[in-house]
Structure 1
Amino acid sequence: MSETIIAKRYATALFQLGQEQSNIDQIETELRTLRDIFQNNKELEKFLKHPRLSTSQKKELLNNSLKGFSKETFNTLMLLVDRHREEIILDMVDHFILKTNDLKGIADATVYSVSPLSDKEKQRISEKFAPKMGKKSLNLTNVVESSILGGIRLRVGNRIFDGSVRGKLNRMERELVSPNNR
Structure 2
Amino acid sequence: MSKDKVIVAKRYALALYEVAGVAKLEETVAELRVVKHVLESNKDLQKVLSHPKVTKGQKKELIKESIGAELSTPVMNTIFLMVDRNRYLFITEMAAQFIELANEAQGIADAQVYSVRPLTDDELQKMEQTFAAKVGKRALRINNIVDPSLVGGVKIRIGNRIFDGSISGKLNRMERQLASHGS
TM-score above 0.5, yes or no: yes
Match of residue 5 from structure 1: 7
Residue type of the partner of 2:51?
H
Query: How many pairs does the alignment contain?
Result: 180
Match of residue 129 from structure 2: 127
Cα distance in 2 for partners of 1:68, 1:152 equals 35
Residue type of the partner of 1:78?
F
Q: Which runs of 5+ in 2 are unaligned?
A: none
Residue type of the partner of 2:4?
S
Deviations 1:109-145 (CA, angstroms, capped at 9, x unpaired): 1111111112221111111100000001111111111
Q: Which runs of structure 2 are paired with 1:155-174 in the superposition (5 Å)?
A: 155-174=157-176
Question: What percent of counterpart residues are identical?
Answer: 45
Give the Å deviation of 1:25: 2.0
Q: Runs in 1 of length 4+ with deviation above 3 angstroms?
A: none
TM-score (normalised: structure 2): 0.92
TM-score (normalised: structure 1): 0.93
SS in 2 for 1:177: helix
Match of residue 111 from structure 2: 109
Task: Note if contact 2:155-2:164 (Cα within 8 Å) is conserved in structure 1.
Answer: yes
Match of residue 140 from structure 1: 142
Give the Å deviation of 1:165: 0.1
Asked if 1:41 is matched to 2:42, the reply is: yes
Q: Which runs of structure 2 are paired with 1:5-154 in the superposition (5 Å)?
A: 5-19=7-21, 22-65=23-66, 66-154=68-156
The CA RMSD over aligned residues, in Å, is 1.6
Q: Which runs of 5+ in 1 are unaligned?
A: none
Cα distance in 1 for partners of 2:85, 2:77 equals 12
Cα distance in 2 for partners of 1:104, 1:84 equals 31
Match of residue 178 from structure 2: 176
SS in 1 for 2:69: coil
CA 14–163 in structure 1, closer or farther in 2 if over 3 Å, else same: same
Give the Å deviation of 1:52: 1.4
Cα distance in 1 for partners of 2:52, 2:124 equals 44
